[in-house]
Amino acid sequence: MNLEAISSEYREEINHAITLLRPYTKRAYIVGGSVRDLYLGIGLHDIDIEVYDIEPSAFDTLMQRIGAVGVGKSFFVYKLGKIDFALPRVERKAGFGHTGFDVVLCEDEKEASKRRDFSMNAMMLNIFSGDLLDFWGGLQSLKAQEISLIDEKSFKEDSLRVLRAVQFSARLGFKIEAKTLEVMRLIDLSDLSQTRILWEFEKLFKASFLHYGLYYMYQLALFEKCLNCKVENRFFKVARSLLRCKKNFEEDIYSYYFFYIVANFLGHNPLEWFKALQAPNHYLSFFKYQPFLEGELTDQALLHIALDIPLKNWLGHCKKGVKEHAKALGVWESVFIGGIDVQEVIRDGFTHAAIAKELRRRKMEKIAQWK
């Protein structure tokens, strides 16, 4: 690949890295998802560079001299601007869970790249020459739009890779290769922390090809394994509802819709899911009032919901036409007032908690008479 294809935003940082590393090595590579995204023409978020032929102490000294920040000192990883610099390493299973690995430095590119999860993430691009090292068929996977593992033994040692595969499928619109899918079916996910499961799901639910991710969640029984719910023959109904509503999702509350739609269609309380997944408090507070309504949404139904929250904060607004309907009723941005004056209620002799109770009663009366 011609390194000039890298956008100007990153080109200057790559040139700076070349200048810094030239006195030490000719083997420094852009690695991981950065290479994949360059070949796919996807915008980069950051760049990982793996540096060979330099002693760890000299690498530390260089990184400290240029003001790079250590982000994984035991792994010799430093961040400078949009680039993460690291020494090449291999990981050996040493304990329980997807974090239970010992890390050992490695000077062989093929061996170091073998630790990556999928072939498409194991390509290496030399920053000096632009030469590509592709030991595991990464380019072939990209052309086939397929996700395939590198090494079955090491793949099985990290259960997080099951969720990462599903997430990549949903992000890229790639199929998971048949053998890889069969291996994934047999991997126990019980060692994954609930917080990490939620984090991976959040990335999945924002993906452009959500239907791929949903399909593999179904194929791999992730609804059962991660959310403790049976989908069975209801999967296609749930998936259709999600995909129909997706175009109406509001960006600032995007990660909530999946749980709202799936939990309600499957007869589960999303609050129980959040407790089990050790979700941040914002999930619990947002879902305190989220009624689920099926069928036609009448004026009265929407106004009843708007007694408590503006409809822009009700996740059911993702159904076709609801946003426009709510705006016409004046309850998209604010709760339903109904022309009821709180001062009039006070003048009528209501005090303290009785004020709110009477306000609500009068608003509900207004809704009942709505035409």
φ, ψ of residue 126 to 5 degrees: the values are -65, 125
Reading the chain (371 residues) residue by residue, the pLDDT tens digits are 666 667 777 888 999 999 999 999 999 999 999 999 999 988 888 899 999 999 999 999 999 999 999 886 556 899 999 999 999 988 665 445 445 456 788 999 999 999 899 999 999 999 999 999 999 999 999 999 999 999 999 899 999 999 999 999 999 999 999 999 999 999 999 999 999 999 999 989 889 999 999 999 999 999 999 988 888 888 888 899 899 899 999 999 998 999 999 999 888 999 999 998 999 999 999 999 999 998 889 999 999 999 999 999 999 999 999 999 999 999 999 999 999 999 999 999 999 999 999 999 999 999 999 97
Residues 122, 138 contacting (CB under 8 angstroms): yes
What is the Cα 119 distance to its own chain's centre? 21
Distance between CA atoms of residues 165 and 263, nearest Å: 23
Residue 104 is predicted with a pLDDT of 82
Residue 75 is predicted with a pLDDT of 63
User: HSE of 236 in the Cβ direction (CA atoms, 13 Å)?
Assistant: 1
Residues 10, 44 contacting (CB under 8 angstroms): yes
pTM for the whole structure: 0.85
User: HSE of 368 in the Cβ direction (CA atoms, 13 Å)?
Assistant: 6
Report the DSSP beta bridge partners of residue 125: 30, 132
The owner of tokens 């059911």 is 316
Please state the length of the chain. Answer: 371
Radius of gyration of the chain measured on its C-alpha atoms = 26
Which of the 8 DSSP states describes residue 127? Answer: T
φ, ψ of residue 133 to 5 degrees: the values are -105, 120
Helices (H), 51-190: 56-65, 109-113, 138-144, 152-156, 160-172, 178-185
Residue 93 is predicted with a pLDDT of 52
Residues 368, 335 contacting (CB under 8 angstroms): no
Residue 225 is predicted with a pLDDT of 92
Parallel, antiparallel or unpaired: strands 77-80 and 83-86 = antiparallel
Residue 94 is predicted with a pLDDT of 46
Residues 6+ apart with CB under 8 A from 247: none
Domain 1-150 CATH superfamily:
Beta Polymerase, domain 2 (3.30.460.10)
Which residue, among 209, 166, 212, has the nearest Cα to 187 in the 3D structure?
166
Residue 72 is predicted with a pLDDT of 63
Distance between CA atoms of residues 125 and 34, nearest Å: 9
pLDDT in tens, 351-369: 999 999 999 999 999 999 9
Which residue, among 100, 67, 72, has the nearest Cα to 87 in the 3D structure?
72
φ, ψ of residue 49 to 5 degrees: the values are -120, 125
- 160's torsion region: left (phi>0), alpha (psi -120 to 50) or beta? alpha
What is the Cα 217 distance to its own chain's centre? 14
Distance between CA atoms of residues 164 and 169, nearest Å: 8
Residues 235, 311 contacting (CB under 8 angstroms): no
CATH code 3.30.460.10 region(s) in the chain: 1-150
Q: Where are the beta strands (DSSP E) in the chain?
A: 28-31, 47-51, 69-72, 77-80, 83-86, 89-93, 101-105, 124-126, 132-133, 146-147, 175-176
